Structures are given as C-alpha cells and as structure tokens.
Amino acid sequence: MADLTLHEDPLSGNCYKIRLTAALLGIPLELRRYDIMRGETRTPEFLAKVNANGRIPVLQIGSGESARFLPESNAACWYLAEGTGLVPGDRFDRADMLRWMFFEQYNHEPNIATLRFWLSFIGEAHLSPQQRAMVPAKRIAGEDALELMDNHLASRVWFVGSEASLADVVLFAYTHVAEMGGFRLEDHKHVCAWLGRMAALPGFVPME
Amino acid sequence: MADLTLHEDPLSGNCYKIRLTAALLGIPLELRRYDIMRGETRTPEFLAKVNANGRIPVLQIGSGESARFLPESNAACWYLAEGTGLVPGDRFDRADMLRWMFFEQYNHEPNIATLRFWLSFIGEAHLSPQQRAMVPAKRIAGEDALELMDNHLASRVWFVGSEASLADVVLFAYTHVAEMGGFRLEDHKHVCAWLGRMAALPGFVPME
C-alpha cells in the first residue's frame, strides 16, 4: 500500500474511526493535524487540494503529484480494511455492514456527534438560536439510535456476523463518547458491554 | 441470487435508487408497497419483521423463515451491484464511489430530499415551527451539495472513474427531482448534462 496520510483533527470521532481501523490492522498512518475550531479546513489551499467539501477526515494515498485524496470517514475505513478480517467475506454480511455504516452517518452521527460538539466544544451558552431549537429533536433521534443499537446487541456479540467489523469500529467512535453530548450510556447495557469488547480488541487504541 | 422483494414507497427517491440499480443490471425485483404518509412503516409488524428503524426502503432477500432484510438504500444498491460494472474494479475508485454514497446520505439527502418532502408532500403551510426554522439552513446546505457536484462534474463524465457507478445512481435519485424542493437545477449546467447522460443509460427506468 502507498504511503498513507490522515488529514485530521484529534477531537473528531470521524477521524478516530480511521486511526482505529488502521491500528486494528497494523497499518501505519502519517498524521497531518488541523484545528477545525480555527477554520483550518476552510482555507483556499485545503479546499483546492485536500477536500472541496471543507471537511476532515481525508485519507491521502501517496504523495506529491500522484497523491489521491479520499474524504468521508467511512469510505476511508473501507479503503483500509477491504480484503481484511474487518470486512465480512459473505456477500449479505458485507452489505449489512455497509447498512450499519450508512445508519451511523444518517441516524447516529448527526445527532450524537453534533450534540457532543455543541455541548462539549461550542458550549450550550454559545449556541445560535437555530442550534438551540434543534437540540430536543437531536436528543430524541440520538436516543432512538442508541436504543436501536441496544436492541440489536441484545442477542449479538458484534453488529454483523461473528466477528468485529467496520460496522463496530465506526459505531464505536461516537458512541463511546456519547456522554459528552448528554446521553446516558448506562441506560443501554448491551451497548456498554459491547463498548468493553471493542476496547479489548487486539491493537485497539483509545481516542486522545 | 435468491428472490428479491423491495419494501418501498414509490414517492421515495431512496426506494427509486434500488429500482434503478436493479433495472440497469437486469435484476428482477418484486415490489411490496407502503404509504409512508399513512404510517404504514411504523406498524408493530413492520417494526418487528422488516425494519426496527421504521424506515423504507428495505431489500428482502429470500422468503419465508429464511428471509433476510437489508435496510439503508445505499447498502441495498451495493448488495445488488457488487461484482458488476456498476462497482469499479479499482480499489481506490471503489472506495471513492463509497465516498460519494456517504456524501449523498450526509450532505445531499437530508437537505434536498427533505425539502422536497416538506415542500411538495407535507406543504409549506403545514410545516411545524421547528421544520420552518430549519428550511434556510437546508436550502444553503443543499445548494452547497449541488455546487460541489457541479464543480466535480465540470471535468468528468461520471462521478468516479470512466463509467457510471453506484455513485451516479444514488446521487441521481434526489438530484433529478430537486426542483420539487425549490432548487434551481438550471444554475448547475454540468449537473444537468450528467442527468441527461444518466437518463440515456441502457436499462434506465424513470421514477414514477
């Protein structure tokens, strides 16, 4: 595999997913760090060269003129893990893994990660009226996501199949810090047990 | 491939994606239709058997006791298309295709599809105060998504690689009906040209 560079902010769970995937697989990543609170991913250079969407993480493959850039955290995890034990060999299970990864980006991250960012990094007192108006709906939707996960894990060790997969990795990232967004993890005991299994995986690295 | 049944609402672009993928590949799908406006995907039976998330589409593989259910539109498209020409053979391109599919669910659908649903199906006069407050931000974010697509297509025929892929299929679904959400497609000429190329693909079927 070509040299890999992760453009990231260490506070971001979306970035942590990729570091965790690489760590579980023993793949070395060079880190290039940005501070999203200071707008460092909105500079003309970043938008032109790294990601026109102005967002991190971006996984850079190769360097110099031939470098290629892959935005979207879950796509970067896929790039690293395809063909490894973190992607199931069965066709249905592979699609089912992607199902949980799309669930993560649609139902989980916009609620749980956003409330974490708003409450723990921006601070409740500094929210805009628009943001403040959205908190109750995000609270309910985030709780629904955790409840759905808890029910699913009631009869399962991992989200898909019989081994940890990218579905577990990407859902772990913002679930294990959900309390920073005001969610009570102890209400979801199957989720808590699964968080413990994740942290015990060989090669596991914690979020910083 | 086992018998395939799509649990869907014909008004939903997320359901149409799967029908379009199947049509482009010549895969027969049985259709089981629900009316989301009447809550038909929130019945106890639907939640217990088809999707605990209460959402469609769901792709059902097989029937009877051995049936398996795959929620999330983009995961269902992947299940159908894996190993076909709609999924690139190159590792980077395959991950880059997923990148656009995650972009679609995170940056495009929650803005463009939601405004279409609110304005063309619920109706502006019937929006809740919370929904009304979210319209301006969704308008800006949806425009940003269309602009990003337009810039990307300025120098490309398809989103990834040299042939149409699932990235094109899933982005087509809500882009081609974006005007129902109050977006002006004529402002995005590269997007318009690409919509025309999509509609000319062999096997293409229109949304109902």
How does residue A95 score in pLDDT terms, banded at 50, 70 and 90? Answer: very high
Put the strands of the sheet holding B68-71 in their side by side order. B30-33, B4-8, B58-61, B68-71
Domain count, chain B: 2
Span A176-197, average pLDDT = 98
- pLDDT at site B2: 78
Last residue of a domain, one of B47, B81, B115: B81
Encoded tokens for A161 = 């199949």
- Residue B44 in tokens: 């106890």
Same domain, A22 and A74: yes
Q: What is the CATH number of the domain that holds B98?
A: 1.20.1050.10
Contact residues, chain A, for B74 at CB < 8 Å: 98, 102
- Beta strand pairing call for B4-8 and B30-33: parallel
Residue B150's pLDDT band (cuts 50, 70, 90): very high
Residue of B92, B105, B152 lying closest to A61 (CB–CB): B92
- Chain A residues lying within 8 Å of B134, measured CB to CB: 130, 134
CA distance B162 to B164: 7
Chain B residues with CB inside 8 Å of A105's CB? 102, 105-106
Q: Which residue has the tokens 């997320």?
A: B14
Q: B146-152: list long-range contacts, CB under 8 Å, 24+ apart.
A: B146/B112, B146/B175, B146/B178, B146/B183, B146/B185, B146/B187, B146/B188, B146/B191, B147/B188, B148/A52, B148/A53, B148/B103, B148/B107, B149/B175, B149/B188, B149/B190, B149/B191, B150/B188, B150/B189, B150/B190, B150/B191, B151/A52, B151/B190, B152/A52
* Cβ–Cβ below 8 Å for B72 and A103: yes
Task: Answer yes or no: do B12 and B104 share one domain.
Answer: no
Q: Do A192 and A117 belong to one domain?
A: yes
Measure B99 CA to nearest chain A CA, in Å: 5
pLDDT of the residue at B42 = 92
By Cβ distance, the residue of A72, A79, A99 closest to B71 is A99
Q: What is the pLDDT of residue B130?
A: 87
Same-domain pairing of A68 and A155: no
Residue range of the domain that includes B171: 91-199
Q: Give the model's pLDDT for residue A168.
A: 98
Interchain pair A95, B70: CB under 8 A: yes
Give the number of A-B residue pairs with CB atoms closer than 8 Å.
99
pLDDT value of position B22? 98
Residue B37's pLDDT band (boundaries 50, 70, 90)?
confident
A2 pLDDT higher than 90? no
Answer yes or no: is pLDDT of B36 > 90: no
Q: What is the mean pLDDT of residues A53-77?
A: 95
Residues A118 and A139 reside in one and the same domain? yes
Alpha-carbon gap: B46 to the closest alpha carbon of chain A (Å): 15
Q: What is the pLDDT of residue B208?
A: 83
- B76-99 tens-digit pLDDT: 999 999 999 999 999 999 999 999
Q: Are residues A39 and A131 in the same domain?
A: no
B102 to chain A, closest Cα gap in Å? 7
Q: Which of B52, B72, B109 is the closest to A148 by Cβ?
A: B52
Contact B72 A105 (CB under 8 A): no
* Cβ within 8 Å of residue B81, ≥6 positions away: B21, B25, B87, B166
Query: Is A116 within the bounds of a domain?
Result: yes
**DSSP string for residues in chain A:** ---EEEEE-TT-HHHHHHHHHHHHHT---EEEE--GGGTTTSSHHHHHHT-TT--S-EEEES-GGG-EEEESHHHHHHHHHTTSTTS-SSHHHHHHHHHHHHHIIIIIIIIIIHHHIIIIII-GGG--HHHHHHHHHHHHHHHHHHHHHHHHHTT-SSSSTTS--HHHHHHHHHHTTGGGGT--GGG-HHHHHHHHHHHTSTT-----
Average pLDDT over residues A80-95: 98
Q: Give B123's pLDDT tier (boundaries 50, 70, 90).
A: very high
| Domain identity same for A65 and A15 | yes
Q: Mean pLDDT in chain A?
A: 96
Q: Same domain for B36 and B115? A: no
CB atoms A78 and B98 under 8 Å = yes
Domain harbouring B72, CATH code? 3.40.30.10
Answer whether A72 sits within 8 Å of B103, measured CB to CB: yes
A147, part of any domain: yes
Tokens of B113: 């599809």
Best mutation target, A56, A72, A79, to test chain B (most B CBs within 10 A): A72
Whether residue A36 contacts residue A48, with contact meaning beta carbons closer than 8 Å, is answered with no
Q: Do B79 and A91 touch (CB under 8 A)?
A: yes
**DSSP letters for B92-143:** HHHHHHHHHHHHIIIIIIIIIIHHHIIIIII-GGG--HHHHHHHHHHHHHHH
A204 lies in some domain: no
In a domain, residue B170? The reply is yes
Mean pLDDT of B181-196: 98
Residues B73 and B119 in one domain: no
pLDDT tens string A111-139: 999 999 999 999 999 999 989 989 999 99
Question: Measured in whole angstroms, how far is the alpha carbon of residue A76 from the centre of its chain?
Answer: 10
Give Cα B144 distance to the centre of its chain.
18
Minimum-distance CB partner of B151 among A52, A76, A92: A52
- Shared domain for A104 and A195, answered yes or no, is yes
pLDDT of residue A37: 85
Q: What average pLDDT does chain B have?
A: 96
Segment A116-120 long-range contacts (CB within 8 Å, at least 24 positions apart)? A116/A13, A116/A174, A116/A177, A116/A178, A116/A180, A116/A181, A117/A181, A118/A181, A119/A180, A119/A181, A119/A182, A120/A180, A120/A181
The C-alpha of A102 sits at a distance from chain B's nearest C-alpha, in angstroms, of 7
User: Does A54 share its domain with A129?
Assistant: no
Residues B19 and B58 in one domain: yes
**Which chain B residues contact residue A133 at CB under 8 A?**
130, 133
**Testing the interface with A: which of B105, B127, B151 to mutate, by most A Cβ within 10 A?**
B105
